[in-house]
Structure 1
Amino acid sequence: MFTSVYTLFLLAFGVLPTLYAVFLAFTRNGAFAGVDNFLRVFSDYRFLPAVMHVAAYVVVWLISLLVFVVLLALVVQAIRIRWVSTGVRFLYYVPGALAGAASVMLWLFVLDPSVSPVAWLLHALGSESLVQTVQLDTLPIVLAVIAFWTGAGGWIVIMYGALNNISADILEAARIDGAGAWSTAWFIQIPLLRKWISYMAILSLAAGTQLFVEPRVLSQATHGVVPQDYSLNQLSFLYAFKQADFNGSAAISLLLLVVAVVLSVYFVFRGGLFERE
């Protein structure tokens, strides 16, 4: 009873669209086309750059998320003054209330040296305009910063809750054995967070490969400095709604799904996500 509504939504908006995408990816004008749609996508001059852009972004995004979320959660958990800890967690969580497009709109002002509250930092980095700030070579870092600012707060709160579930007896035994704060974090707390870190990596990986809103808004704001085919999702969008090629669009989407599933399975087994204690 509890899972029935979720199951219906999963079938309607997850399983059925996926099966339809599989059908489109292997057909052309209603006839079976084998892997022709995939070969056409692979030969597109825009495909490989889009793959490299998404890969660079996901690497920067995942590494920064895994490292800084765990670190900040440990710092918050170490704060013993309750109202300070609560206030910090609330401040971390606030940016997550902004939707993707709204978050990017806010960051357009932050990244523009003419109006940015951190203009001094942008000038020190050699940026004199928004266009210079979002150049293609630095764009994965810019996008990762935006994504981190938006999504990290919720994960910090989750990791904080997981840290509070660690038995006080284990931490007390570590203190008796002479373990300091860093030793306790490295050898006890982080290993016990392994499942939660894997869970965060899986969901963040899925979100990262779906990169669309941020580069699209930046493309409009910079009048094409960020190309409209920067990410695979953008390229899939162009195939479907600019070229009326839904088969090629489905092929790109299916490739993204396969890559995300394979990497997610790796994180599941490496992180022991479904292991019983």
Structure 2
Amino acid sequence: MTVTAPHVEATVGAGDTPAPGRSPRRAGRLRARRGNSTRSPIGYVFISGYTVLMLAFGVFPALYALVLSVTTIDGSFAGFDNFVKVFEDYRFLPAVGHVAVYLVIWLVSLLVLVVLLALVVHAIRIRWLSNASRFIFYIPGALAGASSVLLWLFVLDPSVSPVGWLLQAMGFETFVQTINPANLPVVFTIIAFWTGAGGWIVIMYGALNNIPVEVMEAAKIDGANAVQTAVRIQLPMMRKWISYMGIMSLAAGTQLFVEPQLLSQASNAVVANDYSLNQLAYLYAFQQNDFNGSAAISIILLVIALGLSAFFVARGGLFEKD
């Protein structure tokens, strides 16, 4: 005993308690092995590709846009002149309003419906039915954004749509009536949900599978029903995943461009070509030849997205350790 005690203290460390049934020496070796694995250089190899792409297509373009936004076309310093010019543009505030309304509808519907559908699919105990449900939800995500919108051009036309009877029952007799500007936030939300929700349902399903079985069994033993289990156990333990979904969907939602741009072309400008902020930035760059003003709009979008993402991170505890 007098020989092994100092060895145990040196190996395990003061205050460490070996797991039941495991010798102190073995516990110390396992802890040392885990510590060494965290310092393995292979982790840097795995993240190197992403880091290079992030710098090349994320950080450097953002810095370049920042430089453009505070300079003139001849490269001289302009301060906030480009931002003032953008704010005074009569098209800017309507575009902000359009994107804001769309984001509210899109994020609320996504967070509620995706989590609800994930809980429903996870509750299905028939394996083939659960697998088929996830596959069906995921299929629309295989379509690229532009292809998806082109498909919806036919779905939204009551004269050729497979759900034309439903559109007509809602009072829409023509394609122009369906894509009336007042309807566009809901239309864009439906398109975005149909395209992207399936992937998030699969991710939330995986998050539900990570909840320990012991916790779920304890809830059943305590008499909790499905609703109580979802509200008091599953949703709190999915908080980080829901926050992550909110951040990524917010980033995508602020970049609204393909949907209004294609609808504008298909409807002969019934949908304005400056409906969203990204469209307005496109007009500044390629119609007005004002890349500095376009960069100012992009920086405004970046600041708004970062601010809202910080809110999701803070409320969702995304980087908190369990």
The TM-score normalised by the length of structure 1 is 0.99
Distance 1:168 1:5 in 2: 36
List alignment gaps of at least 5 residues for structure 1. none
- What is aligned with 1:11? 55
Residue 58 (str. 1) matches residue 103 (str. 2)? yes
- What is aligned with 1:20? 64
**Correspondence list, 1:172-251, <5 A:** 172-251=217-296
1:126 Cα offset (Å) = 0.7
Residue 158 (str. 1) matches residue 203 (str. 2)? yes
Q: How many residues align?
A: 277
Residue 82 (str. 1) matches residue 127 (str. 2)? yes
1:67 Cα offset (Å) = 0.3
- The Cα RMSD (Å) is 0.6
1:228 Cα offset (Å) = 0.3
Query: In the alignment, residue 165 of structure 2 is paired with which amino acid?
Result: W
How much identity, in percent, do the aligned residues show? 69
Query: In the alignment, residue 195 of structure 1 is paired with which amino acid?
Result: K
Distance 1:70 1:26 in 2: 42
1:8-49 per-position Cα deviation (integer Å, ceiling 9, x unaligned): 111111111111100000011211111000000000000000
If you compute each CA radius of gyration, which structure gives the higher value, 1 or 2?
A: 2
1:146-190 per-position Cα deviation (integer Å, ceiling 9, x unaligned): 000000000000000000110111111111111101111111101
Residue 170 (str. 1) matches residue 228 (str. 2)? no
- What is aligned with 2:37? none
Q: Which runs of 4+ in 1 moved over 6 A?
A: none
**Aligned-partner SS, 2:182:** coil
Distance 1:9 1:189 in 2: 35
**Aligned-partner SS, 2:149:** helix
**Aligned-partner SS, 1:32:** coil
1:138 Cα offset (Å) = 1.0
- Which gives a bigger RCO, structure 1 or 2 (Cα 8 Å, sep 6+)? 1
- What is aligned with 2:151? 106
The TM-score normalised by the length of structure 2 is 0.85
1:59-87 per-position Cα deviation (integer Å, ceiling 9, x unaligned): 11000000000000000000000000000
List alignment gaps of at least 5 residues for structure 2. 1-44
Residue 256 (str. 1) matches residue 290 (str. 2)? no
1:253 Cα offset (Å) = 0.1
Which residue among 79, 88, 108 is the counterpart of 1:43?
88
